[in-house]
Structure formats: C-alpha cells, structure tokens
Amino acid sequence: MRLISLFWLIGLVGLTACAPERPETLPATTVAVADTTTIVRLSAEDFVARYTPDAVVIDVRTPEEFARGHLKDALNINVLADDFREQIQALGLDPNTPVYLYCRSGRRSQRAAEILREMGFRQLYNIGGFNDLARAGAPVER
C-alpha cells in the first residue's frame, strides 16, 4: 500500500512539474458594473426653487395633454411614442446635462427617466406632475 501511495505521489509531482508555466500577468477582462445613476425625485417646490430658464425640461405627456397646459419652454416628447428614444437622441443633448421630466402624476416621467438612464444620461430629475408644479408656482403656458 505504501508503494502504491509513493508511486502515486511521484506521478503527481511529475505531472505538475511538466505543466506549462503560467503567464506573469493575467489577461484583461471585462466586468459588468451596475449603472449607479440615480433618478432624483424632486418635489414641485424644490424644482421651482432651482429652475432656471436654460434648464432642459421635458413634458412626457401626450401632445393633447401638452396643448391643455405645460411648463414654459418645456419640450413635449411623449414617452408612449414608438420613437421616444429617437426624439431624445435628435435633441443632441450632452449626457451630463441635467434633464427635468414631468407628466401628469410622475409615473410616466419615472419611466422616461429610466429610458434616458439606459441611453447614458447621468443627471435625471423626475419632477412629478404638471398640476403640482403649476400650484407650486412653476411658469406655465396655457
């Protein structure tokens, strides 16, 4: 039994001694990292306090809803439109530009913010619903 164990040990040492050398450096690998961009939910009052006329504000409601009233200088890009992504891309915005999104209640603007995050935008703000924004004193066009 000892003899068998000795032959087995010698064979194992022999096999590992003949193994090819490992490279000194490991090859580069790609590691998937979760997107850490946070979509900030601002209250209507917080938005009004930080609003500037040069802000990129997108109303993601339907054109009919937009026509009944919207924030001054807001762009209307319907998040439910088949070409929503293409319309956003056509704006030519820098992905680091802050983008403020709103709808009627905040649900569609949240969905729009998630799509923009997937597209590489990094400063996204869901500012909620139009009526709350108007009541808080945001500039409105009717």
CB 73 within 8 A of CB 53: yes
pTM of the predicted protein model: 0.76
For residue 32, being part of any structural domain is answered with yes
CATH number of the structural domain spanning residue 83 = 3.40.250.10
Is 141 within 8 Å of 71 (Cβ atoms)?
A: yes
Q: Look at residue 9 and tell me if it is in a domain.
A: no
Residue 20 lies in a domain: no
Residue 124 lies in a domain: yes
E-strand ranges in the chain read 39-41, 56-59, 70-71, 75-76, 99-103, 124-129, 140-141
Question: Would residue 13 count as lying in a domain?
Answer: no
Task: Answer yes or no: is 6 within a domain.
Answer: no
User: Which residues are CB-contacts of 130 (< 8 A; sequence separation ≥ 6)?
Assistant: 59, 61, 65, 69, 70, 71, 102, 103, 104
* Total of domains in the chain: 1
Decide if 5 is inside a domain. Answer: no
Q: Are 129 and 105 in contact (CB under 8 A)?
A: yes
pLDDT in tens, the chain (142 residues): 554 454 444 554 554 554 445 444 434 444 444 567 899 999 999 999 999 989 999 999 999 999 999 999 999 999 999 999 999 999 999 999 999 999 999 999 999 999 999 999 999 999 999 999 999 999 999 9
Domain of 42?
A: 28-141
